[in-house]
Amino acid sequence: MTDAPKHIETIVLHAGHRGDASTGSVAVPIHQTTSFQFKSAEHAANLFALAELGNIYSRIMNPTCDVLEQRVAAMEGGAAALGLASGQAASAFAIQNIAKAGDNIVSSTDLYGGTWNLFANTMKDMGIEVRFVDPTDPEAFRRATDDKTRAYYAETLPNPKLHVFPIAEVAAIGTPLGIPLIMDNTAAAGICRPFEHGAAIIVYSTTKYIGGHGTSIGGLLVDSGAFDWEAHPERQPYLNQPDPSYHGAIWTQAVKGIGPVAYIIKARTTLLRDLGAAMSPFNAFMFIQGLETLPLRMERHCQNATAVATWLAKHPAVEQVIHPSQQSGEVRARADRYLGGQYGGLCGMVLKGGKDAGAKFIDSLKLFFHVANIGDARSLAIHPATTTHSQLSPEDQAATGVSPGYVRLSIGIEHIDDIIADLDQALSGL
């Protein structure tokens, strides 16, 4: 693109691709190839030495993935991005890129269950300690920090509570200490731009709103390019000391000619090279299609979810509605500050009839799909007490914000009257 557009509606349609160089194709081609022909021995050597950037092998980079990466980086106002096989891979890489055995990170307790498992069990097995703190108190991050703390981690709009994370408050604690704030922005894609509030890295499960149609599993890391890794050599040793896995490269130095992209290049050229959790070009194509309408869809998701929350709040079978539009005080102020007046597509409710009512409600739905997913264009529902959280004790369920009658709704972009009609008929049987 020649003139950088300012608005995300334009960026998601144009960034990173202006007609295919060889065919003129306006749609981004799917480069379904494993490898790329080098122009010469010298060209190959330069690519491997990072003296020149270019395609080598699709485990590490691919031109279709590259367009998605450039587009999402532009949407977020970041420097570069890295496509990965899933959101889980993105969360894992986000941490592993800067923390090793003996190090720790401080994370919000309000996390997607898969991330919780990754942090509490798999990271622990790797020797990386994750210190969980209550996100309602930003200072809790500072209190949990020590010399071995390499990152802070949180979700912008975590379910089930849907309490928006204090991004600027926690970034302001970590940044002077050399600690980057990593934000999982999956549920707020297109409505919150965490870099504007001081986050250093963004994690996405593109499986959700970016894909938008429930077709493909994928993830992304986005590097703001604004975090000064070099200023904190002791806090961030793996970007500032010779890396034995890449012939002694010091990442902050090695990429100087390319841009402020040490974090993302290291993730690509070491973790992705070694662990291989690559996004397929076909999935990247699907995510590009989704991304092109993300702002439009999010507008409708948010509009519909707010209308559903307002309607549910008056329903006699509903004890509580969980949605930012129904919040008050500091929690609501954060939602207003960070989500810019849109409140996301997720909505929870607690049914007065408890667990049995939750199960019965789900079985009565006709339009909503009963699935363990969010962010589809279609409306989705799940009853965590009998599914995703059924292995947890009632006490642990309560600690994660899941009560027996809690139902999670991911509101789609269907006509609002049809969505409410389905909820109405399912609730009327309780």
Q: How far is the CB of 6 from ligand PLP (least distance, A)?
A: 28
Q: How far is the CB of 372 from ligand PLP (least distance, A)?
A: 8
The first and second tokens of residue 45, run together, are: 């050597």
Nearer to ligand PLP, 91 or 108 (CB): 91
How far apart, in Å, are the Cα atoms of 69 and each of 12, 61, 160, 276, 296? 11, 10, 29, 17, 20
Q: How far is the CB of 382 from ligand PLP (least distance, A)?
A: 11
Q: Is 184 in the site for ligand PLP (CB under 6 A)?
A: yes
Q: Is 376 in the site for ligand PLP (CB under 6 A)?
A: no
Q: Is 388 in the site for ligand PLP (CB under 6 A)?
A: no
Q: Contact, 105 vs 157, CB < 8 A?
A: no
Nearer to ligand PLP, 232 or 323 (CB): 323
How far apart, in Å, are the Cα atoms of 173 and each of 21, 89, 100, 169, 181? 45, 27, 22, 7, 9
Rounded Cα distance, 235 and 225, in Å: 18
Q: Is 86 in the site for ligand PLP (CB under 6 A)?
A: yes
Nearer to ligand PLP, 184 or 422 (CB): 184
Q: Is 219 in the site for ligand PLP (CB under 6 A)?
A: yes
Question: What is the pattern of x (binds ligand PLP, CB under 6 A) and - over residues 138-177?
Answer: -----------------x----------------------
Nearer to ligand PLP, 259 or 276 (CB): 276
The first and second tokens of residue 6, run together, are: 């300012």
Beta strands in 225-364 (DSSP E): 318-322, 346-351
Phi/psi of residue 219, nearest 5 degrees: -150, 165
Give the count of residues interacting with ligand PLP (CB under 6 A): 16
Report strand pairing: 318-322 vs 219-223.
unpaired
Q: Contact, 154 vs 185, CB < 8 A?
A: no
Q: Is 207 in the site for ligand PLP (CB under 6 A)?
A: yes
Q: Is 114 in the site for ligand PLP (CB under 6 A)?
A: yes
Rounded Cα distance, 116 and 131, in Å: 11
Stretch that binds ligand PLP, among 75-83, 110-118, 288-296, 313-321 (CB under 6 A): 110-118
Residue 369 β-bridge partners:
380
Tokens 């209190």, located at residue: 143
Residue 82 β-bridge partners:
221
Nearest residue to ligand PLP on Cβ basis = 87
Q: Is 108 in the site for ligand PLP (CB under 6 A)?
A: no
Give me the residues that bind ligand PLP (CB under 6 A), please. 86-88, 91, 112, 114-115, 155, 184, 186-187, 205, 207, 217, 219, 374
